[in-house]
């Protein structure tokens, strides 16, 4: 980029409009100030105590890293006393603040930390109803079972489109205030052709990362005919849902769908241009992770009960293991073994699994704190997994990092270091959020 000047313009169209001709004339006149539109103005965010870039090649060497005790081997590409330059909706420069180029606007970070916006790659936000009583009962000693989903299915079917959308936007606003700038969300509480398609239509108005989960559980309309429901999910329901979705998911679990059913569902989705991701090995050992690797799923989610073969398969694949500690927290279940996965070389993402039954939190910072405290991830690993890891789980390279060319999705913490996300659990540290270059919180 050239500081203080508009970006290079493409060659004019053969017949420019009057407005375009005027703008071109202005930009060519050396005595006129550059004609910036608001969307292409450049903004310098400077006086950043610690900048997480997620590009290790940009991080300081060991002599400088010692100040934060997190430099050696860190994946975060930390830069101290740093600055970021945003132009339009992209990052165009990151580095030492003393070398920052001139810009149109300037924001003083006040010696605080800046990170990429969180990428929440697993949520279930299109639903109605409430499961407070179920949670209360479970916390009083009853075991979690997949059947609780039926309660939400009944409430979701009974809700209007406006009610579903109002709930979705409420949870999205909640997540945004806590630093989530990209989220994936799923259907799965309709389980009819019409109700699944409308959930995805509503979700698609708010995100590109939409997942068809008609195979959440066997619909209560097919109590004695799971094969009939799989036929619906892979047939008429898929046809109605595919236009709104990028991904297809299945809950591969005892009481939901077995390996053969899951393979049939995901294969049908692939044939329609949807890419697979799987709820795998959450409540018990099973075929989900191996199936995810076999089908090149972007992510195997939960990964709580894994054999050595499952870990090896993930380590030798492009499939990300997405860990969802909000679910274990909210069900008092066994934590997934994050250290085993990381030490084997598996790419790990951290997400909320925000849903009304088993993990009703939209807070990525809370999940980071759980991952550090209870899953023994280092703070650096947890922050990487909630940003770059989430991006990998969505097969995205434009988010989850703060390097030139990345989308300008970033968060300002009211703290001098990203480590405070785990060090100060439960404290609302996110004090600024930029999405696509615009400050939104
Ligand atoms: Zn889930």
**Domain residue spans of the chain:** 1-11+42-117+400-426+434-441, 119-393
User: Does 439 carry a binding-site annotation?
Assistant: no
Give the per-residue pLDDT at 74.
Answer: 84
Provide the whole-model pTM. Answer: 0.88
Give the CATH H-level superfamily of domain 119-393.
Metal-dependent hydrolases (3.20.20.140)
> Could you tell me the distance, in angstroms and rounded to a whole number, from the CA of residue 354 to the centre of ligand 1?
7
Helix (H, G, I), strand (E, B) or coil at 413: strand
Tell me how far the alpha carbon of residue 19 lies from the centroid of ligand 1, in angstroms.
49
**Does residue 222 have a known ligand-binding role?**
no
From the CA of 419, how far away is ligand 1's center (Å)?
A: 27
Ligand 1 centre to CA of 334 (Å) is 16
Please give the radius of gyration of the chain, using alpha carbons only, rounded to the nearest integer: 23
Per the annotation, does 206 bind a ligand? Answer: no
Distance of alpha carbon 86 from alpha carbon 235, whole angstroms = 45
Of the two residues 237 and 141, the one the predictor is more confident about is 237
Per-residue model confidence as pLDDT tens digits over 24-36: 333 332 222 333 4
| pLDDT surpassing 60 at residue 65 | no
Compute the distance from residue 113 Cα to the ligand 1 centre, in Å: 30
124 is known to lie in a ligand binding site: yes
Q: Which of 13-17, 87-91, 168-172, 385-389 has the lowest mean pLDDT?
A: 13-17
Q: Is 216 annotated as a binding residue?
A: yes
Range of weakest confidence among 32-41, 177-186, 294-303, 343-352: 32-41
| pLDDT at residue 256 tops 80 | yes
User: Per the annotation, does 353 bind a ligand?
Assistant: yes
CB-CB contact of 430 with 413 (8 Å): yes
Which of the four pLDDT bands, split at 50, 70 and 90, describes residue 249?
A: very high
Strands 348-350 and 410-413 come out as: unpaired
Q: Give me the CATH topology for the region 1-11+42-117+400-426+434-441.
A: Urease, subunit C; domain 1 (2.30.40)
**What does the pLDDT average to over 10-30?**
32
Burial 263-300 (b: 16+ CB within 10 A, else e): bbbbebbeeeebbbbbbbbbbeebbbbbbbbbbebbbb
CA of 273 to the centre of ligand 1 (A): 22
**What does the pLDDT read at residue 34?**
36
Can you tell me the distance from the alpha carbon of 386 to that of 393, in angstroms, rounded to the nearest whole number? 10
Q: With a cut of 80, say whether residue 406 has pLDDT above it.
A: yes
282 is in an annotated binding site: yes
Model pLDDT, residue 236: 98
* Beta strands 299-302 and 320-323, pairing class: parallel
Cα 324 to middle of ligand 1, angstroms: 8
Q: What is the pLDDT of residue 16?
A: 32
Can you tell me the distance from the alpha carbon of 387 to that of 176, in angstroms, rounded to the nearest whole number?
A: 14
Query: To the nearest whole number, what is the mean pLDDT of the chain?
Result: 89
Q: Which residues of 86-121 are buried (b: 16+ CB within 10 A; e: fewer)?
A: bbbebbbbbbebeebeebbeebebeebbbbbbbbbb
Q: How far is residue 424's CA from residue 31's CA, in Å, rounded to a whole number?
A: 52
Averaged pLDDT for residues 287-305: 98
| 1-11+42-117+400-426+434-441 matches 119-393 in fold | no
Residue 192 in this model has a pLDDT that exceeds 50: yes
């Amino acid at each position: 980029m050239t500081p203080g000047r508009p970006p290079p313009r493409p060659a004019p169209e053969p017949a420019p409009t009057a407005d375009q001709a005027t703008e071109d004339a202005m930009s060519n006149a050396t005595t006129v100030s550059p004609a910036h539109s608001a969307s292409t103005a450049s903004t310098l965010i400077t006086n950043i105590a610690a900048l997480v870039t997620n590009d290790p090649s940009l991080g300081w060497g060991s002599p400088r890293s010692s100040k934060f005790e997190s430099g050696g081997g860190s994946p975060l590409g930390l830069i101290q006393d740093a600055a970021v330059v945003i132009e339009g909706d992209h990052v165009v420069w990151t580095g030492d603040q003393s070398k920052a180029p001139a810009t149109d606007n300037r924001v003083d970070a006040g010696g605080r930390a800046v990170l990429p916006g969180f990428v929440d790659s697993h949520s279930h936000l299109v639903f109605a109803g409430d499961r407070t009583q179920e949670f209360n009962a479970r916390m009083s000693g009853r075991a979690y079972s997949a059947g609780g989903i039926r309660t939400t299915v009944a409430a979701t079917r009974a809700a209007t489109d406006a009610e579903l959308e109002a709930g979705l936007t409420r949870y999205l606003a909640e997540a945004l205030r806590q630093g989530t700038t990209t989220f994936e969300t799923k259907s799965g509480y309709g389980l009819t052709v019409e109700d699944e398609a409308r959930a995805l239509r509503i979700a698609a108005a708010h995100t590109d990362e939409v997942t068809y989960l008609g195979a959440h559980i066997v619909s209560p309309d097919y109590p004695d005919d799971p094969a009939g429901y799989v036929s619906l999910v892979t047939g008429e329901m898929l046809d109605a849902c595919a236009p709104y979705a990028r991904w297809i998911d299945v809950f591969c679990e005892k009481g939901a769908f077995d390996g053969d059913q899951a393979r049939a569902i995901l294969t049908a989705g692939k044939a329609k241009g949807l890419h697979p991701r799987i709820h795998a090995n959450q409540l018990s050992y099973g075929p989900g992770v191996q199936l995810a690797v076999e089908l090149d799923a972007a992510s195997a989610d939960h990964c709580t009960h894994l054999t050595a073969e499952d870990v090896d398969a993930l380590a030798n694949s492009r499939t990300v293991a997405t860990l969802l500690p909000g679910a274990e927290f909210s069900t008092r279940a066994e934590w997934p073994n994050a250290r085993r996965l990381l030490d084997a070389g598996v790419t790990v993402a951290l997400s909320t699994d925000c849903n009304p039954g088993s993990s009703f939190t939209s807070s990525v910072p809370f999940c980071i704190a759980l991952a550090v405290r209870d899953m023994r991830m280092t703070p650096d690993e947890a922050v990487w997994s909630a940003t770059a890891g989430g991006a990998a789980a969505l097969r995205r390279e434009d988010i989850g990092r703060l390097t030139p060319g990345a989308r300008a999705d970033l968060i300002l913490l009211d703290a001098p270091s990203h480590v405070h996300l785990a060090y100060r659990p439960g404290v609302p540290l996110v004090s600024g959020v930029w999405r696509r270059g615009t400050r939104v919180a």
